[in-house]
Copies of this chain bind each other. A is one copy, B any other.
Amino acid sequence: MDVNQEILKLDWKRQPYGLYAPIEYTLSAGGKRVRPQLAMIACQLFEGKEEEVLPAALALEVFHNFTLLHDDVMDKAEIRRGRPTVHVKWDENTAILSGDQMMIEAYKLLAQLPDTKLPTALRMFNRMATEICEGQQWDVDFESQDDVSIEAYLEMIRLKTSVLLATALQIGAYIAGANQSEQETIYQFGIHIGLAFQIQDDILDVWGDPLTFGKSVGGDIACNKKTFVYLTALNLLDKEGLKHELKHWFGQTLENNAEKIAAVKTIYDQIGVRKACERVVEQYTQKALLLLKELPQNNATLQLRQLADQLNTRNS
């Protein structure tokens, strides 16, 4: 089943258009559809019925896109997937209200699950939704917090990124009939590939190829974002004068960031922070692959393994 096609099949030609057109706009912009695909793969892994999992898979994608829509308002982001964001194309109020409606649409899709599966799936979904908001809030809090520990950062990205992947896998597995222990294993697989994914993202922001990396390289440095790379660098620099220099650069907001990005990269390269971060990506990936061995082995397992491998080696 092609989940992308199923998402594009959702009908938003409804009145009032001012409410639904931004939802259609957001969902038609593409994206990799990773979350609904994970739900479907987990369903295949446990030999469930695809059509039974589909409403949950769609709900996860709609919810994910809702978070992007509201995040873009909060971040004042102007471009998403190569197109103006909703609050730019329409206005901020439209983005708030249509975003609210998108969250409700996610719950409506979820409510299409069979009555026997719905209560448990709803509770999993609610926990995930809460954790994503908590992750977002921690991310905001960290901006104005001087000392963020690596542990706190990992917890933040677990909440903000990993739990949605993990819950997609768990809900797919649950609906397909997986037992508690299998659900927990596939959930943890999702957590670990999510952490690997986000740290790899932080690495690519510094060392990615400008031609293939979707965002502008050095963007996190320019806006002083406390990424895994930055926090790892601070740890490695614990007793050296370079720590002061790195903090100095991260205390500045500049018009032109070329010099700053180059200077920070030089510090990073001097202390080998890239290798250190890549090792952590590798560790999370290995842990994920280990968890996968505890699960049924079939074509779906192969897809999950490829996914984990891709995250580890991707450059875009």
Contacts and interface: CB of A to CB of B under 8 A. Distances in A.
Contacts of A115: 119
A67 to B, nearest CB: 8
Contacts of A74: 93, 96-97
B108 A126 contact: yes
Interface stretch (A47-55, A135-143, A183-191, A307-315): A135-143
Interface of A is mostly: helix
Interface string A121-151: 0110010011001101110110000000000
A118 interface: yes
Number of copies: 2
Interface residues of A, number: 34
A104 interface: yes
A46 interface: no
Interface string A287-300: 00000000000000
A108 B130 contact: yes
A210 interface: no
Interface string A69-109: 01001100000000000000000010011011101110110
A118 B111 CA distance: 10
24 contacts: A16-B137, A16-B141, A19-B133, A19-B134, A70-B97, A73-B96, A74-B96, A74-B97, A93-B140, A97-B133, A97-B137, A97-B140, A99-B100, A100-B100, A101-B133, A104-B126, A104-B130, A104-B133, A107-B107, A107-B126, A108-B126, A111-B122, A118-B118, A118-B119
Interface of A: 15-16, 18-19, 70, 73-74, 93, 96-97, 99-101, 103-105, 107-108, 111, 115, 118-119, 122-123, 126, 129-130, 133-134, 136-138, 140-141
